[in-house]
Structure 1
Amino acid sequence: MESSAILPLSQLPYVYPATPNTNKAYPFWPCKRRTSQPTRLHCSKMFVPGFGEASPEAKAAKNLHNFFTYVAVKIVAAQLESYNPEAYEELMEFLSRHSLNDGDKFCASMFRESSRHKNLALRIMEVRSAYCKNDFEWDNLKRLALKMVTDSNTRLMKDYVLETSSAETEK
C-alpha cells in the first residue's frame, strides 16, 4: 500500500490554522495584510531570514562580482601570455602575493602597486565589465542552477528512501 507524505487540503488547517492569532505580531514578515481579509497574509516571494541587510540575491551578486574578476584575470592572463610575456609574468607574480577572493580589493591593490600594474588593473576591470554585460549567459545560469537543485533534491530523496527501506527490511 502506498503512503503519501503530502497532507490532503482538508488537514491543512490543523497544521496552519485558517485564522492566525491576530494578537501575535509578525515583525520580520515582509508580507502585507489584505484590508478586506485582515487575517490572511499574501506574499509574492518567500521570506528568507538570517541575511541581515542583504537579500540572498544581493549575496549571490557579490559572489558573482568577485567571480567576474577571477574570469577577467584569466582572460587577461591568457591574452598577455601570447603577446606580452613580461606583463604576463608581472601579473602572475602579483597573483601569487594577492588573493582573488575580493575582486575590488585585488584591483585596488593592483592600482597601488605600480603604473604598469595600474594599466593591468584597468584592463581587468574593463574585461570584467564587458564579460558581465556581453558574454555571461544569465539565462543559462538560471537553468543550470535550477537543474542542479532539482537533481540534487531528487538524488538525496532517492538515497534516503533506499537507505530507510533497506534498514526496515533488515529488521
Structure 2
Amino acid sequence: MATCAAAAAAAAAASGGAFGRGIGKAVTSKAISKAGRARVACNCHKMFVPGFGGRTPEGRAADTLHNFFTYIAVKIVASQLEDYNKEAYDDLMKFLDKVPLKDGDKFCSALMRESGRHKALALRILEVRAAYANNDFEWENMKEMSLQKIDNGNTKLMRDFLAETTGIE
C-alpha cells in the first residue's frame, strides 16, 4: 500500500502533470487513465477533485493563504509606519498604487528592487508575513469557522428551497 501522495504522484506522472502534497492515507498505487486524465484508485475515502491542473485543492488554498498573509503583512507594516515613519509609509502607499498585490511574492520581489528604502520595507513585510502565519493566525479557528459557515449556508439554502417549493414557512 502506498500513500495518497504516492498514488497521486503516479497518476500525475501517467498524465504528465504534477500533484501537490498528498493527504497521507492508505491507497492502492494503481493509477488509472481515462480520457487522457489520470485518476487514482484510492481506498482512503477521499473525493477525486478534477480540474485543478494537477494540483490539489489544498495546494490552491495554500497559494491563496500565502498571498493573503502578504496582504495582512502589508497592512500591519503600513499601520506601524503610519505612526512612526511617515516617509516610509508614503513610499509604501505610492508603491501599492502602482504595483498590484495579487501575487505576494511578485509584489515583494518588485518592492525589493525598487530602491534601498523599499528593500527594507520588503524585508519587513516578509518578516511580518512569516511571524503572523507562524504565531498569530488561528488555524484551528479558521477550520471551525469554515465548517460552521458551510453548515449554516447549507441549512439556510435547504430551508429557503423547502419554503419556496412547499409554501411552508
TM range (shorter): 0.7 to 0.9
The aligned residue for residue 64 of structure 2 is 63
Tell which structure's C-alpha radius of gyration is larger.
Answer: 1
1:146 is matched with which residue? Answer: 147
* CA positional deviation for 1:29: 3.4
Determine the structure 1 residue equivalent to 2:40: 30
> Shift in Å at residue 44 of structure 1?
3.1
In the TM superposition, what whole-angstrom CA distance separates every residue of 1:9-30 from its partner, at most 9, and x where no partner exists? xxxxxxxxxxxxxxxx664432
- Looking at structure 2, the residues matched to 162 and 66 of structure 1 have their Cα atoms a distance apart, in angstroms, of 40
User: Contact 1:31/1:43 (CA < 8 Å) preserved in 2?
Assistant: no
CA contact (8 A) 1:112 1:118 kept: yes
Equivalent residue letter for 1:30: V
Deviations 1:117-168 (A, max 9, x none): 00000000010011011110000010010001111111111111111112xx
| SS, match of residue 29 in structure 1 | strand
Deviation, structure 1 residue 90: 0.6
Q: What is the aligned-residue RMSD (CA, Å)?
A: 1.5
Name the % identity.
57
For residues 120 and 136 of structure 1, what CA distance do their matches in structure 2 show? 22
Is 1:69–1:128's contact at 8 Å kept on the other side of the alignment?
yes
TM-score, scaled to structure 1: 0.74
Secondary structure of residue in 2 paired with 1:43? coil
- In proportion to residue count, which structure has more strand? 2
Q: Distance in 2 between matches of 1:134 and 1:98?
A: 28
Distance 2:137 2:90 in 1: 27
Report whether the alignment pairs 1:92 with 2:102. no
Letter of the 1:97 counterpart: K
Instruction: Tell me how far apart the structure 1 counterparts of residues 39 and 113 of structure 2 sit (CA, whole Å).
Output: 45
TM-score after normalising by structure 2 = 0.75
Write the distance in 2 (CA, Å) between the matches of 1:140 and 1:153. 20
The amino acid across from 2:40 in the alignment is P
- Which 5+ residue runs of structure 1 have no aligned equivalent? 1-24, 33-41
Give the gaps of 5 or more residues in structure 2: 1-31
